Amino acid sequence: MDYQHYLDEINALNDYIRLGIALGLIIISLVFAKYAIIRPWWRFVTSTDVDWDDHLHRPLANRTYALILGVGSQLTIRWIMGLSSTTYETSEPLFAAFYVILSASILSVSIKHLIPVLMDQFSAQGSVTVSGSNSIIVFFLRTVVWFAGLYFALNQLGIELLGILASLAVFSLIIGLAVQQTLGNIVNSFLLAIDRPFEVGDRIEVEGTWGSVVSVGILSTKVLDRDERLVVIPNNTLVQSKVTNHARGGGDGVARRISIVLDIGVDYREDIDHVKYTLLQLAKECPYVIERPEPRILLHELADFAKIFRVYTWVEDYSDEYVARDWLLRNIDERFGNENINIPFPTSVELSDSVYEQAEVTKQRSAKRKMVQERRKLDESRINARAEIEDISEKLKDVDLSKKDRSQLEERQRELNTILSQFDRDGD
């Protein structure tokens, strides 16, 4: 009864005093939420290995404060004004709409941070993924959530959203016909985001235009061609045309590696191992060629007048393709002269056997022995790569593996698969 007595005394106080008490309680609730809920929650999420809960913490914390302010304001009005007052009856629909919008906001921000994580987990074990699909799925789900939230919030206020949209349908149709091409570009930009045939930094070819992608916009894609001219290609054209992607860029605008393939013809009287070892050493000496995947030299064709050797190399930055090709061709010509390796050309002069001296035969034998050693190293690398891939596959089956470790293992697995595919393509 003492409890009820105190309540009656508080209710009998002046409205301004009760308002001060209510504001004090709201401030106490905010402080309690901050130190008893928000901060312990923050310490917990920062102690985990994943990142999505760190990003989700602040938006949800802010919405928690908003919920406390909303509930506190509603209870304050109900306490001071009374349940039968006009102010209370007018404010109730507003608070109901506020709670609906707040709920939609919480669900929307949760979708923003959780869906990409779920999609990555879903596709982690697969060998094929669709790049760029996460952002479209998130956008679609958040749009649905916000549309439903606005619909129910306006219903609380006595406003029919569908009726408003219906009244705007004819006007929207007229506007749509007027900007048909623009809308088509916008829609096709989403299709490009889903399929992602190229990214910023890639070198593409579209209808004779060849250049590097510098930006992908909602209406057009901008490409910088070889002459440093900026070419603007409408997204409609990209969707309807054949797009050749000559080099992937990775989405950060930084050029990535590209293969350089050279066909070199030599005289039929040249020793195969001598030529292969000479070309292999040159490829390894080239300052633009990377170590992984390793350069490979293959006897590609027995043509009418020459043995054709194919040189496979990779450069780190595809902007260095032409200088690397120049370096290789210049040094191949010089080294072949030093090694007495003849490059055939159309001629009516018959070469005598005196060209091939005993010193050259010695070089051929030495190169043959070294090439055998290179083959052994290649076989060992192939076996080790396959064994490491099997070991990584077993580790990836561990459900307790952290996201960081899983990402590192998958990256290493992709590198090894690239090396193996190079081995399989090149053969012995």
Query: In the numeric block, which tokens belong to residue 85?
Result: 């007052």
More confident: 391 or 357: 391
CA distance 146 to 128: 32
Over residues 166-180, mean pLDDT: 58
Q: How confident is the model at residue 278 (pLDDT cuts 50, 70, 90)?
A: very high
pLDDT at 308 over 70: yes
Q: How confident is the model at residue 3 (pLDDT cuts 50, 70, 90)?
A: low
- Residues 145 and 111 sit within 8 Å (Cβ to Cβ): yes
Query: In the numeric block, which tokens belong to residue 406?
Result: 């899983």
pLDDT at 421 over 90: no
- Residues 329 and 264 sit within 8 Å (Cβ to Cβ): no
For the chain, the farthest-separated pair of C-alpha atoms sits apart, in whole angstroms, at 125
Over residues 101-114, mean pLDDT: 86
Q: How confident is the model at residue 332 (pLDDT cuts 50, 70, 90)?
A: very high
pLDDT at 311 over 90: yes
CA distance 27 to 25: 5
Over residues 349-362, mean pLDDT: 56
pLDDT at 38 over 80: yes
CA distance 271 to 280: 14
Over residues 130-153, mean pLDDT: 72
What pLDDT is attached to residue 260?
87
Residues 97-127 as b/e (b if ≥16 CB within 10 A, e otherwise) read bbbbbbbbbbbbbbbbbebbbebeeeeeeee
- Residues 198 and 239 sit within 8 Å (Cβ to Cβ): no
What pLDDT is attached to residue 276?
92
Q: How confident is the model at residue 77 (pLDDT cuts 50, 70, 90)?
A: confident
Give the least confident one: 303-307, 332-336, 352-356, 408-412. 352-356
pLDDT at 130 over 50: no
More confident: 264 or 77: 264
What pLDDT is attached to residue 124?
41
More confident: 71 or 139: 71
